[in-house]
Chain A
Amino acid sequence: GQQLNQSPQSMFIQEGEDVSMNCTSSSIFNTWLWYKQDPGEGPVLLIALYKAGELTSNGRLTAQFGITRKDSFLNISASIPSDVGIYFCAGQLYRRDDKIIFGKGTRLHILP
């Protein structure tokens, strides 16, 4: 079945640094989604990408839908303490009611 490989698994950075994480897949997806999850809460949608090559920003976050449709990356610029959490990439095959496959997550830590 489809699998998403998300890396890195965890990151330890200084406040103010930029962050980059990515997801690759063995299968093509028509939608890529990036979520952030805080402890004890559900994932919150950060960015949705619907078109190959699309580059979308949401404040300090930027994500791109790879041309091959098999990868996506998320960048966070000038990290702040509230960026701490787990970031998940997710891919959806065709329709909006298709199931979504999640990556294993990237745990972001910010060092004091």
Chain B
Amino acid sequence: GAVVSQHPSRVICKSGTSVKIECRSLDFQATTMFWYRQFPKQSLMLMATSNEGSKATYEQGVEKDKFLINHASLTLSTLTVTSAHPEDSSFYICSATSLSGGNSPLHFGNGTRLTVT
């Protein structure tokens, strides 16, 4: 079945630094990738929608200059948390889907636990 790989699984960084998270679709071409954020014991909150070759669409309240998204190819999207602060500590999860080949339900990566110290 469809597999989405996310890297790294865990990252600890110092306040003020930037962190890049990668999301790859391993056996299909992902025309659309989504980035979610999840706080402890809460649901997944959509941050942005990323389409290959175009600018990401951010949800209301999400700072596009802080959370930079690049979807450079049909198999890779990256989320860069710039100038990270402790309040950015969270579980970040990507997902991917494709418009081709019949119904294609959304598959998720295994998430990245970001801790900003």
Minimum C-beta distance from A99 to chain B (A): 5
Q: Size range of the interface on A? A: 20 to 34
* B75 proximal to A (CB < 8 A): no
* B108 proximal to A (CB < 8 A): yes
Minimum C-beta distance from B115 to chain A (A): 13
Residues of A within 8 A of B51 (CB): 97
- Report yes or no: A33 in contact with B110, Cβ–Cβ below 8 A: no
The answer to whether residues A44 and B108 also contact, given A96-B97, A104-B42, A104-B43 and a CB cut-off of 8 A, is: yes
Closest Cβ neighbor of B96 among chain A residues: A97
- Report yes or no: A105 in contact with B105, Cβ–Cβ below 8 A: no
- Report yes or no: B34 in contact with A50, Cβ–Cβ below 8 A: no
**Within A46-70, which residues are at the interface with B (CB < 8 Å)?**
48, 50
Known: A42-B93, A99-B49. 16 other contacts (CB 8 A): A33-B106, A41-B110, A41-B111, A42-B6, A42-B110, A44-B108, A45-B106, A48-B105, A96-B32, A96-B98, A97-B31, A97-B97, A100-B95, A100-B106, A102-B44, A104-B43
Residues of B within 8 A of A112 (CB): none
* A8 proximal to B (CB < 8 A): no
Q: Size range of the interface on B? A: 20 to 34
Q: How far is the CA of A95 from the CA of B32 in the complex (A)?
A: 11
Annotate B15-48 by CB proximity to A: 1 below 8 A, 0 otherwise: 0000000000000000110100000001111100
Minimum C-beta distance from B80 to chain A (A): 19
Contact of A42 among B97, B99, B104, B111 (CB under 8 A): B111
- Report yes or no: A33 in contact with B44, Cβ–Cβ below 8 A: no
- Report yes or no: A103 in contact with B43, Cβ–Cβ below 8 A: yes
Q: How far is the CA of A96 from the CA of B105 in the complex (A)?
A: 7
- Report yes or no: B111 in contact with A40, Cβ–Cβ below 8 A: yes
Q: How far is the CA of A37 from the CA of B108 in the complex (A)?
A: 10
